[in-house]
Amino acid sequence: MVYRFHKNDQFNYEIMTVLGSAWQHGADVGEVLTTALATAEGDGAAWFSSWTELAHRAREQAERSAARGCTVSARDGYLRAATYFGTALVAVDACTDPEARLREVFPEHRECFERFTQACDPPAERVEIAYEDTFLPGYLFRSPRHDGPLPTVIVNNGSDGPISAAWTFLGAPAVARGYNALLFDGPGQQSMLFERGLTFRPDWENVISPVVDFLTARPDVDAGRLVLAGISQAGYWVPRALAFEHRIAAAVADPGVVDVAESWWRNLGPDLRRLWDSGDREAFDRVISEGLRADPALAATWRWRAKPYGIDSPYDLLAEVGRYNVLPVVQRITTPLLITDPEGEHFWPGASQRLYDALPGPKELIRFPASEGSHLHCEPMGRAVFEQRVFDWLDERLAQREHG
């Protein structure tokens, strides 16, 4: 069962995701449905324009509220604006001069999110996490309900989601339950990609270990109760990091991902896979390029998905994505890991069960069925159900850790 708001499958899924964020004040249902209706038959350029216009309206409303001293209205308005700017960017590669549009809209997205963080109670702390010869930018949110060192959720975003989605998916429910929540951009994610040109890497332990180093040095963090939770493609990055970083008390993969390349090959089909396996790089690149020229919408989606890898050749891109496979290291994982298994998972169907079966240590598989509306990739329309089941599991695990 898939709800249908747009003829384009990717845009349809984005609408569901934005609707789900309303549970954590990340969107307004009326605003989303009105914009979805206006763009239902439109192309990527129309999508970008409509969501950007909505984002500007939400930002203007937030600024009027802020000027009047209406902090809560301003806070929620800035978060909605950040969500809508982030939603617009999904189609930036369908626009004329996409790099110019990205330079315009991404800073607005981040400015709105920054203003949201400062309107929170308490305000989030903007942090810089030492990483190789640079730093990872992030925000540390603290619960207003507790003092002293707190358990902390490291929120690992997916391949292309905005930081506002990381907040509504995992950060907000963590803070509401008395956790700290750390949101950050890793290489290939949002600001690290758009502003610094740093691309993905498969050895994600080299990203998470510096984050753990940063957190364990802080007096407001309980170093014995760290959680690593990831959404979408982070369903690969989380178990990969756990294979090498053993200071994590519990972890969540939403959903489980064994081999990232499966989501690419599932759409490309067996004929193209055989051509790629033949090693004929020139022929493979030619066939893919011809197909993308014939379908501008598909070409825009390809560019958006490929951008974080920084590789132009389709053949070389698929070779690189093929390195993102957790099976060679899965036996090293000892951290208790919860894996979600939503019915109708369309990027990595069946991978959650395969990851669960391969894990040697403590593990849990939670299914989210269509019968209760919590199905599909990352449970876009079942956020309350997701939060209840996942965070109840985390609370229980960390309580055992605290008293064990």
With tokens 């809560």, the residue in question is 72
What would the mean pLDDT of 205-217 be, rounded to a whole number?
98
- pLDDT for the residue 144: 85
- pLDDT for the residue 145: 74
Same-domain pairing of 226 and 348: yes
Cα distances (angstroms) measured from residue 251 to each of 5, 175, 185, 239:
33, 16, 18, 8
pTM: 0.97
CATH number of 102's domain: 1.20.1440
Is residue 40's pLDDT more than 90?
A: no
- pLDDT for the residue 244: 98
Is residue 36's pLDDT more than 90?
A: yes
* 3-state SS class at 368: strand
**pLDDT for 7-20, tens place per residue?**
889 999 999 999 99
- pLDDT for the residue 41: 84
Listed residues 67, 87, 119: the one ending a domain: 119
**pLDDT for 121-130, tens place per residue?**
999 999 999 9
* 3-state SS class at 228: strand
Listed residues 321, 341, 372: the one ending a domain: 321
Same-domain pairing of 95 and 12: yes
Same-domain pairing of 328 and 389: yes
What would the mean pLDDT of 31-45 be, rounded to a whole number?
93
Same-domain pairing of 156 and 235: yes
Is residue 402's pLDDT more than 70?
A: no
Cα distances (angstroms) measured from residue 341 to each of 16, 231, 314, 365, 384:
18, 12, 30, 7, 16
**pLDDT for 48-82, tens place per residue?**
999 999 999 999 999 999 999 999 999 999 999 99
**pLDDT for 307-360, tens place per residue?**
999 999 999 999 999 999 999 999 999 999 999 999 999 999 999 999 999 999
pLDDT band at residue 404 using 50, 70 and 90 as cut-offs: low
Same-domain pairing of 343 and 395: yes
Listed residues 73, 88, 119: the one ending a domain: 119
Is residue 116's pLDDT more than 80?
A: yes
CA distance 10 to 103: 23
Question: In the structure encoding, which two tokens stand for residue 132, read together?
Answer: 């190789």
Domain that holds residue 337: 122-260+324-404
**pLDDT for 228-247, tens place per residue?**
999 999 999 999 999 999 99
CB 352 within 8 A of CB 341: yes
Tell me what the pLDDT averaged over the chain comes to.
Answer: 96
Burial of 24 (0-12, 13-18, 19+ CB in 10 A): buried
Question: In the structure encoding, which two tokens stand for residue 230, read together?
Answer: 């990831």
CATH number of 365's domain: 3.40.50.1820
Same-domain pairing of 284 and 256: no
What would the mean pLDDT of 184-209 be, rounded to a whole number?
98
Q: Where are the beta strands (DSSP E) in 148-299?
A: 150-156, 180-184, 221-231, 250-254
Beta bridge partners of 251: 228, 337
Is residue 164's pLDDT more than 80?
A: yes
CB 230 within 8 A of CB 253: yes
Same-domain pairing of 242 and 152: yes
With tokens 């920084």, the residue in question is 310
Convert 26-47 to b/e letters by CB count within 10 Å (16 or more is b).
Answer: bbbeebbeebbebbbebbbbeb
CB neighbourhood size of 357 (10 A): 12
**pLDDT for 356-382, tens place per residue?**
999 999 999 999 999 999 999 999 999
**pLDDT for 279-289, tens place per residue?**
999 999 999 99
**pLDDT for 338-347, tens place per residue?**
999 999 999 9
List the Cα angle 92/94/96 in 5-degree steps.
Answer: 90
Nearest to 388 by CA among 363, 364, 366, 356: 366
Same-domain pairing of 335 and 209: yes
Structural domains in the chain (count): 3
List the Cα angle 228/234/240 in 5-degree steps.
Answer: 75
DSSP H stretches of helix in 132-228 = 163-166, 172-176, 191-194, 205-216
Peptide bond into 342 cis (omega under 30): no
CA distance 121 to 206: 32
Same-domain pairing of 75 and 48: yes
- pLDDT for the residue 70: 97
Same-domain pairing of 201 and 147: yes
Same-domain pairing of 59 and 205: no
Where is 141: in which H helix or E strand?
A: strand 134-141
- For strands 250-254 and 180-184, give the pairing: unpaired
What would the mean pLDDT of 144-167 be, rounded to a whole number?
93
- pLDDT for the residue 321: 98
Alpha carbon of residue 384 to chain centroid: 18
Question: DSSP character for 259?
Answer: B
Question: DSSP character for 227?
Answer: E
- pLDDT for the residue 147: 77
Same-domain pairing of 252 and 343: yes
Reported as half-sphere exposure (CB side, CA atoms, 13 A), residue 206 has a value of 7
- pLDDT for the residue 146: 73
